[in-house]
Amino acid sequence: MQNAAEIVEALGGTVAVAKALDIAPTTVSSWKASGRIPPWRMSVIRALAEKCAVTLSNEGVLSFVQPPPTEAAQAFPEH
């Protein structure tokens, strides 16, 4: 599965995910630290991802629903 920290960040960060799921931020932080989101939480994570326009495949791979970067941004990437 995709790294839990990446999933949490894609969904708005620790506090945003915790607030959306009505759980303690420390719980979400523990997912990030362990690299795993409990399987029984995945249905609500998928619902939140849909609401945030983030697609999670069955393998957990993130696909962001946003326009591709402009050619200028590609020519001058940030360091």
The top-scoring range by mean pLDDT among 14-28, 39-53, 54-68 is 14-28
pLDDT at 57: 63
Q: Which residues pair with 64 in a beta bridge?
A: 54
Is the domain spanning 4-66 CATH 1.10.260.40? The answer is yes
What are 29-44's pLDDT values in tens digits? Answer: 999 998 888 888 988 9
pLDDT at 3: 81
d(CA 42, CA 64): 18
Domain ranges of the chain: 4-66
Q: Residues 6 or more apart from 44 whose CB is under 8 A from it?
A: 21
Report the range of poorest mean pLDDT among 16-25, 30-39, 56-65: 56-65
pLDDT at 25: 96
Given pLDDT bands bounded at 50, 70 and 90, which one contains residue 2? Answer: low
